[in-house]
């Protein structure tokens, strides 16, 4: 057992996530027996403090966010401008719906982010704050509905209702808002009863097909493995994911740093060895996985790796197939119950915006971008590769790199003000594939012969019609004139 001098004193608030990290660290350093003894003492301490604190909940503990009023007014102003654009035909219905949803979702998310600092500054020992942010009871979404705004709700079909609920449960709902919120709340209650059986049946089917997979050998003798590297051509793997991928696996090849062998084949990886690989910058690590095991209807110990139960190599005879089936099936029940707890509140994602650091003129290479329209119908430029945007002020030149598949929302040589949005980043999302599609017809105002400036191809979905695809934005010309029969 390690000496007590190696223990680190954590003088900070420990919530549910920090407790998980602490338990994991204790198991790694001291083993299961000592960890269970420590956790028993932590449990006793927790009950003592909870009894002494005597937390109760009152209506005055629900502190509303001061900035809510002007945030809602700003969102209403944006919605009004959007309605005018739609009325004049600048944006079509799909773009209007998308932008309306994003306006209110961004407002709701900003209120959610303001909630925690508001509690910390005004009343750090607020019962609602302590219960939700410690992980004892409730979550940020439920507290947001109490003191922020309920926001966008979904109807019984799961579609978005574009009329948001601006009130919170502390202020009380109007009649219209109450009826809108009843859709999602009732759907949550019904789904809890109906879908629980679906989640259970999914678990049963998963277990049915993998129940024969059992650990029956120590080593299958395979020479294959999967290569894991923190850096590859397409993306950079974060250090946390890299560590999670390697811990508990078994090496398929020896690892050399220079001419020195630091790890051997069939050696299991712990946190110390993985940190060593990161420190020395090892390029690629080959690990054994169940995919590369030579056994067809069972699995070997070295290809499976460590068992999460005790942190050592999995035992012979372990029913790892059933464990895998239950591990995938179990979250199904949790996802079913989540709808019930949140009451049908819509959750989605917002784009990350790049803002100008100060006033200045924008400059970029127009050959590296392509003119397009955003989801909201606004003109923009699409970046296919990393684009360097320069902001020139009187005495400062600032450079910003815009990643691929992002929208540049300003023109070249345009003057921008400080904190103005110049780009919209949507990394990791499918920017170009939407469910809603709209076709807008462009009618010719004169008769003549058609010519275009780029190569076209026949549209495969229109087999028997004269429809062609334009691969990129281009100009169409109509050579005006009439045919005269002589």
Model pLDDT for residues 88-100, shown as the tens digit of each residue: 878 888 888 888 8
User: What pLDDT, on the 0 to 100 scale, is given for residue 350?
Assistant: 55
User: What pLDDT, on the 0 to 100 scale, is given for residue 303?
Assistant: 92
Distance CA 344, CA 159 (A): 11
Strands 387-392 and 397-402: antiparallel
CA 197 to chain CA centroid, nearest Å: 28
Separation of first and last alpha carbons in the chain: 107
The most confident of 149-158, 259-268, 434-443, by mean pLDDT: 259-268
30-44, 125-139, 282-296, 317-331: range with lowest mean pLDDT: 125-139
User: What pLDDT, on the 0 to 100 scale, is given for residue 447?
Assistant: 77
- Determine the average pLDDT of the residues in 212-229: 88
- Is 80 exceeded by the pLDDT of residue 172? yes
| pLDDT averaged over every residue in the chain | 80
- Is 70 exceeded by the pLDDT of residue 4? no
Question: What is 235-274 written as a DSSP string?
Answer: -B--HHHHHHHHTT-EESS-EEETTEEEE-TTPBP-HHHH
User: What pLDDT, on the 0 to 100 scale, is given for residue 236?
Assistant: 59
Model pLDDT for residues 390-421, shown as the tens digit of each residue: 888 777 788 888 888 888 888 888 888 877 78
pLDDT band at 40 (very low <50, low <70, confident <90, very high): very high
pLDDT band at 215 (very low <50, low <70, confident <90, very high): very high
**Would the pTM of this model clear 0.85, i.e. be above it?**
no
- How many CB atoms neighbour CB 451 within 10 A? 10
What share of the chain in percent tops pLDDT 90? 10
pLDDT band at 2 (very low <50, low <70, confident <90, very high): very low
- Is 50 exceeded by the pLDDT of residue 122? yes
User: What pLDDT, on the 0 to 100 scale, is given for residue 37?
Assistant: 93
Sketch out the chain's domains with CATH numbers.
4-53 (no CATH), 215-318 (no CATH), 352-425 (2.40.50.100)
Q: For the chain, percent helix, then strand, then coil, each to nearest 5? A: 40, 20, 40
């Amino acid at each position: 057992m390690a000496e007590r001098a190696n223990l680190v004193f954590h003088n900070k608030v420990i919530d549910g996530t920090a407790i998980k990290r602490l338990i994991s660290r204790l198991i790694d350093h001291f083993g299961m027996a000592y960890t269970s003894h420590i956790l028993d003492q932590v449990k006793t301490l927790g009950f003592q403090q909870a009894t002494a604190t005597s937390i109760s909940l009152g209506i005055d503990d629900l502190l509303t966010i001061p900035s809510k009023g002007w945030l809602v007014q700003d969102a209403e102003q944006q919605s009004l401008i959007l309605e005018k654009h739609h009325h004049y035909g600048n944006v079509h219905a799909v773009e209007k719906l998308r932008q309306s949803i994003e306006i209110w979702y961004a407002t709701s998310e900003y209120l959610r982010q303001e909630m925690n600092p508001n509690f910390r500054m005004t009343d750090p020992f607020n019962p609602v704050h302590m219960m939700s942010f410690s992980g004892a009871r409730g979550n940020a979404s439920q507290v947001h509905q109490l003191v922020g705004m309920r926001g966008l709700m979904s109807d019984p079909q799961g579609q978005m209702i574009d009329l948001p609920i601006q009130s919170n449960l502390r202020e009380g709902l109007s009649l219209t808002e109450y009826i809108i919120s009843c859709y999602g709340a009732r759907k949550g209650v019904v789904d809890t009863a109906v879908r629980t059986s679906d989640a259970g049946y999914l678990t049963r089917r998963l277990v049915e097909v993998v129940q024969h997979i059992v650990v029956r050998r120590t080593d299958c003798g395979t020479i294959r493995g999967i290569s894991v590297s923190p850096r590859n051509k397409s993306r950079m793997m974060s250090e946390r994911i890299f560590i999670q991928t390697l811990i508990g696996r078994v090496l398929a090849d020896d690892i050399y740093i220079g001419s020195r062998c630091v790890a051997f084949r069939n050696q299991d990886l712990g946190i110390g060895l993985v940190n060593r690989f990161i420190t020395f910058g090892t390029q690629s690590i080959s690990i054994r996985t169940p995919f590369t095991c030579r056994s067809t209807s069972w699995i070997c110990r070295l290809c499976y790796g460590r068992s999460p139960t005790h942190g050592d190599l999995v035992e012979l005879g372990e029913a790892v197939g059933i464990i895998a089936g239950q591990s995938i099936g179990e979250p199904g029940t949790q996802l079913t119950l989540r709808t019930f707890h949140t009451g049908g509140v819509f959750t989605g994602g917002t784009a990350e915006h790049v803002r100008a650091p100060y006033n200045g003129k924008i400059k970029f290479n127009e050959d590296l971008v392509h003119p397009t329209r955003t989801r909201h119908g606004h003109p923009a430029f699409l970046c296919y590769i990393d684009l360097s945007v320069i902001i020139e002020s009187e005495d400062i030149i600032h450079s910003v790199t815009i990643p691929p598949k992002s929208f540049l929302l300003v023109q070249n040589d345009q003057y921008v003000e400080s904190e103005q949005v110049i780009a919209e980043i949507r990394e990791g999302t499918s920017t170009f594939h939407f469910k809603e599609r709209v076709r807008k017809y462009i009618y010719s105002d004169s008769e003549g012969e058609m010519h275009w400036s780029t190569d076209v191809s026949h549209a495969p979905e229109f087999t028997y019609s004269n429809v062609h695809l334009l691969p990129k934005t281009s100009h169409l010309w109509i050579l005006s004139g009439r045919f005269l029969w002589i």
